[in-house]
């Protein structure tokens, strides 16, 4: 349920509501609305406590939330959440571009990628240091050395940085180097990792699982937010279907559906969705048209020499050209890039 506080509610009255929730076996999460505070109450108890709460000083009304995900729902917060990552604000009018190579391969490679994607308009530099691969014989990433190179490239160019973490040890290391932590598709339901990400103090990029429903995806976000972290950005990266022409099937319908169900911002990853560089552009433009708040695109200085995901990576020149094309689409839907 959501407890909507009056405009005149004092901090003491808010504290009293939280104390009452504790007595009822529920946990209160304070959410800053546009004009007032609301308190999201979550827990296993099913007691009818609404009447007890409604008579407390400072309470305007109590609204039940029927969806299994409570804190990330539009009922809990009507206004969109804005997530700040460095100088980028995701969820507002501006479309945010996050770009860079699938994997950090060297200091020179990630620095060149950083310079080129920034020139094209990217605000966030992506680069993998821990690479969960289908084959155990594939390149697994440079780990902490890769994180150091990513952080150095970000600092040199003024770009915020994001990288994927795959387990608790990698999360503990990565949070010291990057501005944002990514939970990949294979770990979307790694609940211990989600909880640790929620306690990390970092913005979280949460990718949709390979075969996850929208509800399962939002429930994964609920795990993070239940730990007190509302700086969550969702990422649609394609789901597994019977179709084999593309790497995955990009579910663009998920964009408006999620935006209606949740207040969290959302990115689209056309690189992992298609798996083919020449198809990235059309799906990137479609993502903006569908209402995405930004894009996550793989860009490599020399895709033919990439140690990971070369076929789906754009060259810096192609990315720059795509950025110009996407500006027109953004303008057509009342956004800017």
Order across the sheet with 2-5: list the strands: 27-32, 37-42, 2-5, 59-63
Task: Among 29, 63, 97, identify where a domain stops.
Answer: 63
Do 237 and 54 contact (CB within 8 A), yes or no?
no
> Which CATH number do you get for residue 40?
3.30.70.1140
Same domain, 106 and 171: yes
Task: Specify the pLDDT at position 286.
Answer: 98
pLDDT (tens digit, 9 = 90+) per residue, 293-309?
999 999 999 999 999 99
Same domain, 30 and 133: no
Backbone angles phi, psi at 68, to 5 degrees: -65, -30
In a domain, 74, yes or no: no
Query: How many domains does the chain divide into?
Result: 2
In a domain, 235, yes or no: yes
Same domain, 20 and 133: no
Same domain, 242 and 161: yes
Spatial distance between the Cα atoms of 172 and 185, rounded to a whole number of angstroms: 19
Mean pLDDT of 53-71: 83
In a domain, 69, yes or no: no
Same domain, 247 and 173: yes
Same domain, 41 and 103: no
Same domain, 40 and 11: yes
Residues 6+ apart with CB under 8 A from 187: 132, 166, 193
pLDDT (tens digit, 9 = 90+) per residue, 259-281?
999 999 999 999 999 999 999 99
Q: Which residue has the higher pLDDT, 149 or 132?
A: 149
Same domain, 30 and 141: no
pLDDT (tens digit, 9 = 90+) per residue, 8-31?
888 888 888 888 888 888 888 887
In a domain, 78, yes or no: no
In a domain, 259, yes or no: yes
Spatial distance between the Cα atoms of 225 and 22, rounded to a whole number of angstroms: 18
> Which of the four pLDDT bands, split at 50, 70 and 90, describes residue 47?
low
Of 208, 277, 287, the C-alpha closest to 240 is 208
Same domain, 223 and 287: yes
> Is the model's pLDDT at 36 over the cut of 80?
no
In a domain, 289, yes or no: yes
Spatial distance between the Cα atoms of 196 and 3, rounded to a whole number of angstroms: 27
In a domain, 229, yes or no: yes
Same domain, 14 and 50: yes
Share of the chain above pLDDT 90, in %: 74
In a domain, 77, yes or no: no
Same domain, 174 and 54: no
Task: Specify the pLDDT at position 23.
Answer: 83
> Is the model's pLDDT at 190 over the cut of 70?
yes
Same domain, 263 and 122: yes
Q: Which domain holds residue 24?
A: 2-63
The label of the residue with tokens 């827990």 reads 43
**204-215 burial string, b = 16+ CB within 10 Å, else e?**
bbbbbbeebebe
> Which CATH number do you get for residue 221?
3.20.20.70
């Amino acid at each position: 349920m959501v407890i909507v506080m009056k405009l005149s509610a004092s901090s003491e009255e808010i504290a009293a509501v939280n104390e009452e929730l504790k007595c009822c076996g529920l946990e209160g999460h304070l959410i800053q609305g546009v004009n007032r505070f609301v308190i999201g109450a979550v827990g296993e108890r099913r007691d009818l406590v609404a009447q007890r709460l409604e008579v407390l000083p400072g309470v305007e009304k109590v609204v039940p939330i029927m969806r299994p995900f409570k804190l990330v729902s539009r009922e809990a917060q009507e206004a969109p959440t804005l997530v700040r990552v460095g100088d980028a604000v995701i969820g507002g009018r501006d479309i945010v571009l996050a770009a860079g190579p699938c994997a950090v391969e060297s200091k020179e490679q990630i620095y060149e990628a950083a310079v080129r994607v920034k020139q094209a308009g990217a605000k966030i530099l992506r680069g993998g240091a821990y690479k969960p691969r289908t084959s155990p014989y594939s390149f697994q990433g440079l780990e902490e050395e890769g994180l150091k190179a990513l952080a150095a490239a970000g600092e040199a160019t003024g770009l915020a940085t994001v990288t994927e973490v795959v387990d608790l040890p990698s999360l503990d290391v990565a949070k010291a180097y990057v501005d944002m932590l990514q939970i990949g598709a294979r770990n979307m339901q790694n609940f211990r990792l989600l909880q640790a990400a929620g306690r990390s103090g970092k913005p979280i990029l949460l990718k949709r699982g390979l075969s996850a429903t929208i509800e399962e995806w939002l429930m994964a976000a609920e795990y993070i937010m239940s730990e007190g972290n509302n700086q969550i950005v969702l990422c649609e990266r394609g789901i597994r279907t019977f179709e084999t022409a593309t790497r995955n099937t990009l579910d663009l319908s998920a964009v408006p559906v999620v935006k209606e169900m949740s207040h969290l911002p959302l990115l689209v990853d056309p690189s992992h969705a298609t798996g083919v560089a020449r198809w990235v552009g059309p799906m990137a433009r479609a993502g903006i048209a569908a209402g995405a708040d930004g894009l996550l695109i793989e860009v490599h200085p020399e895709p033919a020499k990439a140690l990971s995901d070369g076929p789906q990576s754009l060259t810096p020149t192609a990315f720059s050209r795509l950025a110009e094309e996407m500006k027109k689409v953004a303008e057509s839907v009342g956004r800017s890039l």
